[in-house]
Amino acid sequence: MPESYVLELKGITKNYFGTTVLKGISLSVKAGEIHALVGENGAGKSTLMNLIFGMPVIHETGGFEGDIFIDGQKVNITSPRQAMELGIGMVHQEFMLLPGFTVTENIKLNRELSKANLVSKTFGSSFETLDYPAMQNDTSLAMKKLGLSIDETSLVAGLPVGYMQFVEIAREIDKKNVRLLVFDEPTAVLTESEAEYLITAMRLLAAQGIAILFITHRLDEVMACSDMITILRDGEMVTSISRSNASLERIAELMVGRKLERAQLPPRAVEPHDQDLILELNNLQVQMPGEQVRNLNLKVRRGEILGIGGLAGQGKIGIANGVMGLYPASGEVYKDQNQIKLNDSKDALQSGMAFVSEDRRGVGLLVDESIALNIVLTSIEAQQKFLQPAVLPGVRLIDKKSVRSYTLKMIKDLDIRCTGPNQPVRRLSGGNQQKVCLARAFTLKPEVLWISEPTRGIDVGAKQLVLDLLVQMNREYGMTIIMTSSELTELRRICDRIALVYKGRVAGILRPDASDLEFGLVMAGKKTAKEVG
């Protein structure tokens, strides 16, 4: 007889608008088992979670293939509510707590214990009065299961962050039938001692027979507490191994591992070298929520393509945003030995740098304006291009003619598929929108191009085109490119060097052909690599 599993996934496949994000995932969790789910960003972890938890986003985008079994029963989970009824609890990455409610009120939110009264007997259970003593009783019971004591009547607003996490967990285990708890990167916001305690609490819960699915990319935590480890990569399940068979190095390697497909790139006349630096970042700090940069140092060689990689939340995204003045930054940035004013996009632009943001629709585009305006507006503002004198002295108007001819040229050069320069960019596909973003940056004729997540959300063909374009710009015009990406493959495909960011600092700079193991370890902060060159 096969062992009984609390949760079983069989052949889960999920498509988002034609892109396959999960491919044939099968995984099973036993009662009392801590099952770790690890993988890089975009490996499909959060999609898998949304799927198990019945989030509406899954069904709004066409559902999925494959089966989910709870306790051996095939289920079709269509809403978070149903997931809860099936005994699935979720500890969210962002706290789902009401600051103005007490610990008890939060734990019992929408599951309040109440007493009937005269009104409720006529008008229904909505009018039952809340039974605070009973609710507090339950709360302290749940807290005890976690081995914790918190005053149940204090407001959540006054609690330290670590405690909020425990209140979340307490809420889940207070649900009487809870059998499976999903932890979505629970330690991301915790201090080290809090994280340690959380691990202890998780073990405690598992010992009480609750199955735990633990999503993380902190490998030491995986090694510390999990029974089984499943590794996802690019939406595919690499393997499921028990911890006794795993080692930190092996997991790291499996997480990253890909066949290197470094195409033959065109050669340069002079290779970039350390004696000719174009950019120097000293002690850069950027206050970007979720992507903090702390005391980062980086030297960029003239004419190179430098990759910046690292796991989500480690700060790689913050670097370009800080240098280009989009998020509050401090420290020193020198371009050609001239210091650049931080927190001033204008100065950054005028010093010959341009930025293609990772947040295409949020920062990169005016979605309801024309392609033409999107391409030229930054140049008009920062470099006063495309303007012509008008009747009045000192007044200059936009030169529609030259804007049009320039846009037509860009549409042709970058192969932007559109109906013409006046088409609003909203109607373009993701890849073509990205080309408009690139055109906007190229129009500034930058010496240094910062580009973040250049291929996110665009289809495979367009991905290749965008990367080819970057290489072309680099080789033909000697444009220095600093490319930030969560996809190690594409960094390794076109970059000369790859800087890996961990905890807001550069943990190491690797050559694109360094081993998978080395990439995995440096990204997980287990090893610092010396600069290579």
Ranges within 98-137 binding another protein (CB under 8 A): 98-101, 105, 109-110, 112, 114, 119-120, 125-130
Q: Please, which of residues 190-209 interact with another protein by CB under 8 A? A: 193-194, 197, 200, 203-204
Contact status: 224 vs another protein (CB under 8 A): no
CB of 175 to another protein, least distance (A): 11
Rounded Cα distance between 220 and 528, Å, is 16
H or E element in which residue 211 lies: strand 211-216
Q: 239: which strand partners? A: 231
Contact status: 363 vs another protein (CB under 8 A): yes
Closer CB to another protein, residue 241 or residue 380?
380
Q: Please, which of residues 439-498 interact with another protein by CB under 8 A? A: none
Contact status: 359 vs another protein (CB under 8 A): yes
Q: Is 530 helix (H, G, I), strand (E, B) or coil?
A: coil
The residue range among 28-36, 67-75, 225-233, 376-384 that interacts with another protein, by the rule CB under 8 A, is: 376-384
Q: Is 509 helix (H, G, I), strand (E, B) or coil?
A: strand
Contact 501, 507 (CB under 8 A): yes
DSSP one-letter code for 362: I
Binding residue for another protein, selected from 299, 369, 511, 517, defined by CB under 8 A: 369
Q: Which of 447, 446, 487, 445 is nearest to 466 (CA)?
A: 487
Total residues contacting another protein by CB under 8 A comes to: 76
Binding residue for another protein, selected from 364, 421, 454, 525, defined by CB under 8 A: 364
Residue 23, phi-psi category: left (phi > 0), alpha (psi -120 to 50), beta (remainder): beta
Rounded Cα distance between 441 and 468, Å, is 16
CB of 367 to another protein, least distance (A): 7
Binding residue for another protein, selected from 67, 71, 151, 336, defined by CB under 8 A: 151
Closer CB to another protein, residue 65 or residue 85?
85
The residue range among 28-36, 70-78, 156-164, 476-484 that interacts with another protein, by the rule CB under 8 A, is: 156-164
Residues 393-432: x/- map of binding to another protein (CB under 8 A)? --xxxx---------------------------x------
Q: 32: which strand partners? A: none
Q: Where are the beta strands (DSSP E) in 408-465?
A: 448-452
CB of 107 to another protein, least distance (A): 11
The residue range among 63-71, 97-105, 462-470, 518-526 that interacts with another protein, by the rule CB under 8 A, is: 97-105
Binding residue for another protein, selected from 324, 439, 479, 488, defined by CB under 8 A: 324
Strands 505-510 and 497-502: antiparallel
Closer CB to another protein, residue 199 or residue 466?
199
Rounded Cα distance between 341 and 324, Å, is 10
Q: Is the dihedral of CA 464, 468, 469, 471 positive or negative?
A: positive
DSSP string, 186-202: TTTTS-HHHHHHHHHHH
